[in-house]
Amino acid sequence: MASTDWTYLNDGLDIATVDRGVTAGIPRPPGGGSLLFGFNSLTAAKGAVALFANLVNFAPMAKGGSIRGCVQRGPGGGPTAFSPSLFLCGQGTSVNDNAYLLGLSDDDPHRIVLRKGSVANGASSSDSPGVVLRSSDSFAQGTWLHLRLDVVVNTNGDVVLSVFRNDLDKHPIGTAPDWQPVPGMATFIDDALAINSGSKPLTSGRGGFGFAVGDVTRRGFFDQIELMRQT
């Protein structure tokens, strides 16, 4: 997808607070190309920056979809107070709107986390409100993780959430990924009765990626983002 295919969500931190953009100065994931997209916080302000795909039939998507991408909590000023994530079913054009977020938790070491809540709070810590799944494994800062979130809207209104990971050491970018379920993150059904998550499921919306932060010199990196919609 080209840079023009992405639009920033409203109410995000400005570029004087969180710098953002493409760079060749950071090591890419195994097999990655010449550039990646990064965020770097310049102040201790709390908030988020996020982008959504603005293509026809994607802004918003009528149903669910699938988003895949390489994500890293980059080394910086400290191991906490930041969380990069992919998201689907974003309910509006503001970082304050809710979505399903698959990201790297605000913990040291961090975990892969699936959370239902505002984009502004990112994946949050692994025990934060709204977290519905967390990985059994934890990871060190600076680790590239190739993740995939599938959101399937069933005809009865249930939403089925499935999380996968591709091992980049065995299947680097440029080769066919081998998507495997993430240990500890069984398929989650956000049911139409609002029982499992405590709120009604998100059955449509926008997809994209973002960076939630609360301190200075925190960094998040993304590469190889792919977005598909349910038809």
> How far from chain centre, in Å, is Cα 149?
9
**pLDDT score for 3:** 78
Residue 95 has pLDDT above 80, yes or no: yes
Contacts of 123 (CB under 8 A, 6+ apart): 83, 84, 85, 101, 102, 103, 104, 105, 106, 113, 114, 115, 131, 212
- Report CA-CA distances (Å) from 199 to 42, 63, 191: 35, 18, 9
Q: Which superfamily, per CATH, for 3-229?
A: Exo-inulinase; domain 1 (2.60.120.560)
Q: Which residues pair with 61 in a beta bridge?
A: 205
Q: List, for residues 18-28, the tens digit of each pLDDT value.
A: 999 999 999 99
| Maximum C-alpha span of the chain | 48
Q: List, for residues 210-222, the tens digit of each pLDDT value.
A: 999 999 999 999 9
- Report CA-CA distances (Å) from 217 to 64, 76, 118, 198: 34, 6, 23, 35
The angle subtended at Cα 95 by Cα 90 and Cα 96, nearest 5°, is: 90
**pLDDT score for 215:** 98
- For the residues 52-74, what does the mean pLDDT come to? 97
Contact at 8 Å (CB) between 64 and 190? no
Has this prediction a pTM greater than 0.95? Answer: yes
Give me the residue spans of the domains in the chain. Answer: 3-229
25: left (phi over 0), alpha (psi -120 to 50) or beta: alpha
**pLDDT score for 31:** 96
The angle subtended at Cα 190 by Cα 158 and Cα 122, nearest 5°, is: 135
Q: What percent of the chain has pLDDT over 90?
A: 97
Residue 9 has pLDDT above 90, yes or no: yes
Q: What percent of the chain has pLDDT over 70?
A: 100
Rg (CA), the chain: 16
Token pair belonging to 56: 């026809």
- For the residues 89-113, what does the mean pLDDT come to? 98
Q: List, for residues 117-137, the tens digit of each pLDDT value.
A: 999 999 999 999 999 999 999
Q: List, for residues 163-176, the tens digit of each pLDDT value.
A: 999 999 999 999 99
Residue 1 has pLDDT above 70, yes or no: no
The CA distance from 69 to 54, in Å, is 17
The CA distance from 60 to 121, in Å, is 21
The mean pLDDT value of the chain amounts to 97
Q: Which residue has the tokens 């209104």?
A: 157
